[in-house]
Every structure is written in structure tokens, then in C-alpha cells.
Amino acid sequence: MNSVKVGLLGLGTVGGGTVNVLKRNAEEIARRAGRGIVIAHAAARDLNKPRICDTTGIRLSTDPNEVVNNSEIDIIIELIGGDTLAKDMVLKAIEQGKHVVTANKALIAKHGTEIFAKAQEKGVMVGFEAAVAGGIPIIKAIREGLAGNQIQWLAGIINGTGNFILTEMRDKGRDFDDVLKEAQALGYAEADPTFDVEGIDAAHKLTILASIAFGVPLQFDKTYTEGISTITREDVTYAEELGYRIKHLGVARRTDKGIELRVHPTLIPERRLIANVDGVMNAVLVMGDAVGPTLYYGAGAGAEPTASAVVGDVVDVVRALTSDPKNRVPHLAFQADALASDPILSMDDVETAYYLRMQALDKPGVMANVASILGAQQISIEAIIQKEPVDNSTFANIIMLTHKVQEKQMNQAIAEIESLETIDGQVKRIRMETLN
């Protein structure tokens, strides 16, 4: 049987890794797919740029349209990134009846609904395993392996840059800005690190995971996003003293009122496995009603880990080339006409526990006033630490852990506490999850 010919858009880190994996493991991949898979045509902005892969035997172009328009190509792999040119190329490929595999989380999170509708109309597949958590097959796990479960919630460390920064702050007592500079020097963070440290990258991925887990439309614009740039080494230290670790977590949870969809710094009990995922590694914890908790761990980025997911999708496409389009695994796990209309909750309506840190005047009665404000909002305190003033300051650090309460109640309490003359500056608030 003739080999399936693939067109590759983008020969950067992941593109080069994909070429290497497909060439190195060609025989094994053919045994799994039932046919050989070869990259016949690839596009890159600069054809003279040094590559991590051998492009011998691959036709090269600078125009991605030439690859998409190549009539010999059955599958397009999109690895150019962004959601403008990439979107145009993907829709054009689908319109021509070509299957698509992409590692582009922004493209799927923001335009997946349109792309999947067009793919269904044309009877083609869109694979996007590599768009979330690099080499971890989390999409396949939720979409297929856990198909017999009602997913109750999932929580993930799905951005390696943020996890590296928080790990270094905890292990070496370093400041955020210092570690960020190292992350940029090591290539973990971009020159503009906003997408990583402010949670936008993680929000793209969480949007996709939530849609697959709960059978709701992709709704990136409703995902609450908060970054880690305000986390201090003191917060990391105090969390440790209380038996917790701070992770930049993406959380999606089904509730009676709707779906929680949020990315923010989170205190996690240090005994949880996911709390011990360090450095640039990723992990996703999924709770199903039948299976219970399952944890998926691995490299969240990198040339060959991400290429592993890309090639896995290509193999799936090749296996299904001759199957009835109406009986393939749905893109978002649920049949397109069966997506639910559960609302995405506002953060005001989310219920969680909290870590609070404040600078309080070191004199009698101050804590009583703070406790009174919390009590009026029905917020109960689980633990409290008071640190002695330093450097002749008259203000002491007060750290509290609270029980669960609605965010809008906590917002009101914090506003009232900050208005007290005995409180200096803003109250630092970090949400907590026990992940039971």
C-alpha cells in the first residue's frame, strides 16, 4: 500500500522534531498505522536557516499555500503558530478535503468551533493532541480512555515556564524577576513572557480540556486568568510552613450552577502528587466518577515530546482514512449536536478556600477587627500565623488560611480589611485547592 504523504507548515523546533521522529521511527510507525507516513512537502520562512532535522527528500517552499495546494498531500501538519495565517491555512486545507494535525492551542481555543464545524462538513479529521501539555496524551485519555466516566473536575500544571519559576522560588529562595530572567536565558520563556507568566497560555489549554471533559463549547473568553508575577518568595515560604505549595493551576470543575473555568496561582497540600511536579514538567489530575483520580505527567514542551503527540495524531488519521466520517471519534469527545449549554461561572460565584497575607499594625485589637470583618462575610479561619515585625517596623505579617467561601464574599471582606487604618497596603490573596 502506498505511503501517506504529509505536508508540514513550519520547520521550527516542533517541526524539526516531527521530521526526526517520523524518519527515525518510520518502520515502527508504519507497523502501527498500517501504511508508511512520509513528509513530502514542507514550508518555512527561511530555507537557509540551520535545522535540527535532515530535510533530504522533502520538497521545501517558503509559501505555505504551495504545501496546502499540493494535490498529492493527504494530511497537513500546522506548526506555524498564531491564529491568523494558521487559521487561514487550516481552513483552506479542510476546504480541499485534507486532514489536519496541529499543535496550536490558541488556534483551537479561539477558533476551534469554526474549524471543527468545517471539518465535519467536509468529512475530515483535525488532530490537536499536541496543543495541550506537549507529549502527555491527555486529550486522548479524556476523550477516549475516560469516555465511560462523568468527569467531575480536572486540575493541571499546564505551563512549564510558570512551574519552573515557582519551583526555583521555592527551592532556592529566589525572587520572581530573577528567575524569570534565567527562564528567558534558558529558552523556557519568550522575550515577552506575558502569555506564560500571566496564564494566557494555560487558559488556552484549559479551555480545550474543559470542552472535552464536560462536552461544552470552546469558550476561551470566559476563562478567568490570573498570573504569577505578584507571587513573592515570602508567599512561597509561608505556604511551605503551612504544608502547602504554590502552583500555577488551571482548574475546570462541573458544579450544580455551571462550569468553573479558571487559571490562577493556587495553594495545594504538599502531600498531593501534583504538588511535587517541579521544573518545566506538566501534569494534569482528572477526577472521574467511575475511575476516581488519575494523574498524567510528562514533558509539556520541547521538540520531540511535542512531536510525539503530533505523530500520534497523524497515525490516528492514517488509521481512519478509510473509515466512515460519521463514526469517527468526535473532535471534542461528544457528538457535535450533543454539546451542552452549561453556563461558565463568573469568578464571583466560584467557591474555594483562600490564603491571605496582610501587613497589620502590631497592637491589641487589630486581629479582632479583621476577624469581625471575616465573620460578617461568613468566612471561617482554618489557620493563622503572625510573624514578628522586622527592621524596626510597627507592622507584622499576618498569614491566614480560610475555609471555602464564595469569591464575592471574600472580595467584600478584603475591601473592608484594606480600608482599616491598621492595615498597611493591599491584602495578598491566593486561592487554595485540596484536590480531594
Same domain (yes/no): 309, 293? no
- 54 part of a folded domain: yes
* Boundary-marking domain end, from 315, 337, 359: 337
Chain centroid to Cα 235, Å, comes to 23
- 343 part of a folded domain: no
Active site residues: 205
Same domain (yes/no): 367, 252? no
DSSP conformation class of 302: S
Same domain (yes/no): 242, 266? yes
Spatial separation of the C-alpha atoms in residues 296 and 156, rounded to whole Å:
9
**Average of pLDDT values for 63-82?**
96
362 band by pLDDT with thresholds 50, 70 and 90:
confident
Same domain (yes/no): 173, 249? yes
Give long-range contacts, CB 8 A cutoff, 24+ apart: 422-427. Answer: 422/360, 422/361, 422/363, 422/366, 422/369, 423/358, 423/359, 423/360, 423/361, 423/366, 423/370, 424/359, 424/360, 424/361, 424/395, 425/359, 427/356, 427/357, 427/358
Domain count, the chain: 3
Give yes or no for a contact between 64 and 43, defined as CB atoms under 8 angstroms apart. Answer: yes
Give yes or no for a contact between 254 and 151, defined as CB atoms under 8 angstroms apart. Answer: yes
Same domain (yes/no): 121, 252? no
pLDDT, tens digit, for every residue of 135-163? 999 999 999 999 999 999 999 999 999 99
Spatial separation of the C-alpha atoms in residues 332 and 212, rounded to whole Å:
5
Same domain (yes/no): 180, 154? yes
- 427 part of a folded domain: yes
DSSP conformation class of 326: G
Phi, psi of 245 (to 5 degrees): -125, 150
pLDDT, tens digit, for every residue of 300-341? 988 999 999 999 999 999 988 877 777 677 787 777 888 888
Q: Does the pTM of the predicted model rise above 0.95?
A: no
Same domain (yes/no): 220, 267? yes
- Nearest one of 428, 260, 417 to 349, comparing CA atoms: 260
- 79 part of a folded domain: yes
425: helix, strand or coil: strand
Spatial separation of the C-alpha atoms in residues 348 and 186, rounded to whole Å:
38
**Average of pLDDT values for 246-272?**
97
- 344 part of a folded domain: no
Give yes or no for a contact between 213 and 342, defined as CB atoms under 8 angstroms apart. Answer: no
- 418 part of a folded domain: yes
| pLDDT at res. 436 | 81
Half-sphere exposure of 354 (CA within 13 A, CB side): 22
Same domain (yes/no): 97, 197? no
Same domain (yes/no): 118, 146? no
Same domain (yes/no): 166, 99? no
> Containing domain of residue 361, as a range?
349-432
What's the chain's length in residues? 436
- 295 part of a folded domain: yes
- Nearest one of 85, 130, 138, 131 to 108, comparing CA atoms: 131
Same domain (yes/no): 235, 373? no
Instruction: Kindly report the CATH number assigned to the domain that includes residue 262.
Output: 3.30.360.10
| pLDDT at res. 111 | 97
Same domain (yes/no): 130, 152? no
- 342 part of a folded domain: no
Instruction: Kindly report the CATH number assigned to the domain that includes residue 410.
Output: 3.30.70.260
Instruction: Kindly report the CATH number assigned to the domain that includes residue 128.
Output: 3.40.50.720
Pairing between strand 423-432 and 259-269? parallel
